[in-house]
Amino acid sequence: MRPLDWEDFLKTTKQIWQDKLLRPYGIASCGTHGQFEPDRFEELLQFCKENPEFHVVSSVKDRDLNYAVPDALFYRLALGNKDPFICYLCPLHYKIC
């Protein structure tokens, strides 16, 4: 894994935080900063298959991963770098542990 700070991770992955950017593709998030609930995992995979410029970013436990992971806390769609080795390690979790 190659951890990035939050700003670099967002710039590199180009996560989509606004539904208005997804509407032309016929998909909408649950309305909370572009987040998709875990029950939409298969739908997101199919969407990315049909729209290969997109990929899934998964938020799991203490990190955001630049690839699709089943049963993540939530997901976002992204249009940037698809490198599966980049991630964001959430520092708050490390302070708590």
- pLDDT value at position 82? 98
Q: What is the DSSP string of the chain?
A: -EEE-HHHHHHHHTB---GGGTGGGT----SSTT-B-GGGHHHHHHHHHHSTT-EEEEEETTEEESS--TT-SEEEEE-S---TTEEEE-HHHHHH-
Provide the whole-model pTM: 0.90
Average pLDDT on 79-92 reads 92
d(CA 83, CA 18) in angstroms, rounded, equals: 22
- pLDDT value at position 85? 97
Domain that holds residue 54: 2-96
For residue 60, pLDDT beyond 60? yes
The pair of structure tokens assigned to 96 is: 């708590």
Residue corresponding to tokens 């190659």: 2
How many domains are there within the chain? 1
- pLDDT value at position 45? 98
d(CA 1, CA 45) in angstroms, rounded, equals: 22
